[in-house]
Amino acid sequence: MSVPPTPSKDFIREIIDEDLSSGKHDGTVTRFPPEPNGYLHIGHAKSICLNFGIAQEYGGRCHLRFDDTNPTKEDVEYVDSIKEDIQWLGFDWGDHIYFASDYFEKLHEWAVGLIEEGKAYVDEQSAEEIRKGRGDLQNPGTDSPHRDRPVAENLEMFQRMKDGEFGDGEKVLRAKIDMAHPNLNMRDPVLYRILHAEHHRTGDTWCIYPMYDYTHGQSDALEYITHSLCTLEFENHRPLYEWFIENLPVPSHPRQIEFSRLSLNYTVMSKRKLLQLVEDSHVSGWDDPRMPTISGIRRRGYPAEAIRDFCKTIGITKFKSTNDISLLESSVRDVLNRGANRYMAVLDPIKVVVTNYPEDQVEEFDAMINPEKPDLGMRKVSFSRELFIERNDFLEDPPKKFFRLAPGAEVRFRCAYFLRCDDVIKDEEGKITELRCTYDPETRGGENPPDGRKVKGTIHWVSAKHALDAEVRLYDRLFTHESPDNVEGSFLDHLNPDSLEVISHAKLEPNLAAVPVGKTVQFERLGYFCVDLDSSEEKPVFNRTVALRDSWANAQNKS
């Protein structure tokens, strides 16, 4: 009996294996450190799956830590949404939830220690002067005129900053490292700035706030993080991360490891741009189903399992790349095909009158709830004299190989009967308003009749007498350009005007009234649809999660 090959591990897990086998660490502690200044997007999902996934695989733990160092952009709303998103993805931090603001006292104490050791100074230059003084990749920086201020004076000035004697931006605390360093991040970076702003946790206790680069590594060290995993844009920050670890009395020495971030075509991931879409009302909110936010894709009906599968499929590398959104949609289809119950719905209805069917008669037919899960059994669907079918399931002058309804043609109405179209009714403008058909009672349940004739087409339908009126929202990609981040002009110039189509009078089988908000089902032959939070008993609302096939790719290939 052959042994299946062991799947290869990504480079991060190989590093962890080596650290554990060498005895460098006796366990793993990772963390997911979001800034509470916006909603998480699918790019964050990759980091969540990586950090929490490693903790699960290695029997370690993953901390949730909010890097809340900028009170002007942070809000409790974002904190709550981040928690909800992580739990929806299937992960839990247990008791290990932390905030960078938990460490403000310790960070301040260490900053004072840097000043006392001559490794930090108060600078009175403006932000623009500091930026210009840093130089560039070809030219070294210029020392601040305050770089050699005496230690005692720096200590006094820093205390006065803390006491609120200065206005926003008047002074900053900078590390004294090397203004000629080839890495610009090492050219005396700012450690503290003045912000007279209410913090969502500490209130007005502080008016000086530590910078992200200073806070991040020290928070890792205080929490005894073993492997600090971050995306590639922080690779150039690693020397600074390590400088702080080496020059402060931290209790542990985490290792920063970078990996490539998740990028998708036909969307944007910048929090600034996502916020602009919300604030300028290009979308209905952070959870608009067209948004790449986790709350948006959840509202659209994407299963958490599909997001985890997608993150596993694209893997962990150091190579920058853009993933095709079709791959994400494929993961969604795979999961929903297994788990979504089936129902019939008609989005663009045209009435069918079965002329030889008794007017007051109603029959019930059995239809499978989910062919992938036969143990769920059958559901009942009602059949009556008047039905609705999709308008595009009928053509008056059909081409060859059109196996749906047409004058004189016979098709199978799913689970019910064979029906033949005998007459077409039109209004004064020539629009078809009604089809007159006859049914064959010998084909009950959609079975072939005793005479052995067969039909090639099967269409779905809904009983007009029992139909549930609903609103259906058809969502498409938010942008028409494959890479809206890399276009001339504004990314907003490439918004897709057809990214949302609202169908006000869809006709659904009545079983769909019992589907709860947030549940995704399959409308047979149409796609997967999720009950939206705007739904009511009077009028359900369904969002299209994804079509049964990649219609976008097909359309692009034809164009």
- Supply the pLDDT for residue 413: 97
Contact between 332 and 349 (Cβ < 8 Å): no
Average of per-residue pLDDT across 271-289 = 96
Q: Is the dihedral of CA 531, 535, 541, 543 positive or negative?
A: negative
The yes-or-no verdict on residue 7 having pLDDT over 60 is: no
Average of per-residue pLDDT across 375-379 = 95
Give the amino acid at 369: I
pLDDT digits (tens, 9 = 90+) for 451-463: 888 899 999 999 9
**Residue 87 to residue 495: CA distance in whole angstroms:** 31
Average of per-residue pLDDT across 334-338 = 96
Check residue 407 and report its DSSP letter: B
Comparing 321 with 205, which gets the higher pLDDT? 205
Average of per-residue pLDDT across 56-73 = 97
In a domain, 11, yes or no: no
**Residue 495 to residue 161: CA distance in whole angstroms:** 45
The yes-or-no verdict on residue 557 having pLDDT over 70 is: no
The yes-or-no verdict on residue 211 having pLDDT over 80 is: yes
pLDDT digits (tens, 9 = 90+) for 391-410: 999 999 999 989 999 999 99
- Supply the pLDDT for residue 448: 85
Length of the chain: 559
What is the Cα 81 distance to its own chain's centre?
A: 12
Structure tokens at 290: 């067209």
Instruction: Give the percent of the chain with pLDDT over 70.
Output: 97
- Supply the pLDDT for residue 154: 98
The yes-or-no verdict on residue 378 having pLDDT over 60 is: yes
What is the Cα 226 distance to its own chain's centre?
A: 28
- Supply the pLDDT for residue 197: 96
Beta strands in 340-487, from DSSP E residues, in sequence order: 342-343, 345-346, 349-354, 363-368, 378-383, 386-390, 410-413, 418-426, 432-440, 458-459, 462-463, 468-475
The yes-or-no verdict on residue 126 having pLDDT over 60 is: yes
pLDDT digits (tens, 9 = 90+) for 217-261: 999 999 999 999 999 999 999 999 999 999 999 999 999 999 999
Domain harbouring 505, CATH code: 2.40.240.10
Average of per-residue pLDDT across 130-141 = 96
Same domain for 542 and 475, yes or no, is yes
- Supply the pLDDT for residue 559: 43
pLDDT digits (tens, 9 = 90+) for 407-426: 999 999 999 999 999 999 99
Domain harbouring 141, CATH code: 3.40.50.620
Same domain for 525 and 554, yes or no, is yes
Same domain for 250 and 276, yes or no, is no
What is the Cα 418 distance to its own chain's centre?
A: 44
Last residue of a domain, one of 407, 430, 460: 460
Element (H or E) spanning 350, and its range? strand 349-354
Last residue of a domain, one of 411, 438, 460: 460
Same domain for 232 and 322, yes or no, is no
Same domain for 163 and 288, yes or no, is no
Same domain for 214 and 283, yes or no, is no
- DSSP-derived 3-state class of residue 427: coil
Same domain for 353 and 389, yes or no, is yes
pLDDT digits (tens, 9 = 90+) for 477-507: 999 999 999 999 999 999 999 999 999 999 9
pLDDT digits (tens, 9 = 90+) for 77-111: 999 999 999 999 999 999 999 999 999 999 999 99
The yes-or-no verdict on residue 2 having pLDDT over 80 is: no
Same domain for 416 and 503, yes or no, is no
Contact between 333 and 528 (Cβ < 8 Å): yes
Contact between 241 and 216 (Cβ < 8 Å): yes
- Supply the pLDDT for residue 5: 46
- Supply the pLDDT for residue 21: 97
The yes-or-no verdict on residue 348 having pLDDT over 70 is: yes
CB contact set of 176 (below 8 Å; sequence gap of 6+): 118, 119, 120, 121, 147, 188
**Residue 556 to residue 553: CA distance in whole angstroms:** 5
**Residue 438 to residue 356: CA distance in whole angstroms:** 6
Range with the poorest average pLDDT among 287-291, 331-335, 548-552: 548-552
Average of per-residue pLDDT across 505-511 = 97
Position 553 confidence tier, pLDDT thresholds 50, 70, 90: low
Average of per-residue pLDDT across 50-66 = 97
The yes-or-no verdict on residue 447 having pLDDT over 90 is: no
CA nearest neighbour of 149 among 129, 176, 167: 176
Contact between 407 and 416 (Cβ < 8 Å): no
Average of per-residue pLDDT across 443-447 = 90
In a domain, 16, yes or no: no
Average of per-residue pLDDT across 318-324 = 92
In a domain, 131, yes or no: yes
Beta strands in 211-273, from DSSP E residues, in sequence order: 227-231, 255-259
Active site residues per annotation:
35, 261, 271
Average of per-residue pLDDT across 150-165 = 98
Instruction: Give the percent of the chain with pLDDT over 90.
Output: 93
The yes-or-no verdict on residue 1 having pLDDT over 80 is: no
In a domain, 6, yes or no: no
Same domain for 315 and 387, yes or no, is no
Last residue of a domain, one of 210, 237, 259: 259
In a domain, 36, yes or no: yes
Average of per-residue pLDDT across 193-214 = 97
CA nearest neighbour of 229 among 512, 31, 89, 446: 31
Same domain for 234 and 350, yes or no, is no
State the chain's mean pLDDT as an integer.
95
Element (H or E) spanning 240, and its range? helix 238-247
In a domain, 8, yes or no: no
Domain membership of residue 454 as a residue range: 345-460
Same domain for 163 and 136, yes or no, is yes
Number of domains in the chain: 3
In a domain, 266, yes or no: no
In a domain, 465, yes or no: no
The yes-or-no verdict on residue 273 having pLDDT over 50 is: yes
Same domain for 61 and 179, yes or no, is yes
The yes-or-no verdict on residue 362 having pLDDT over 70 is: yes
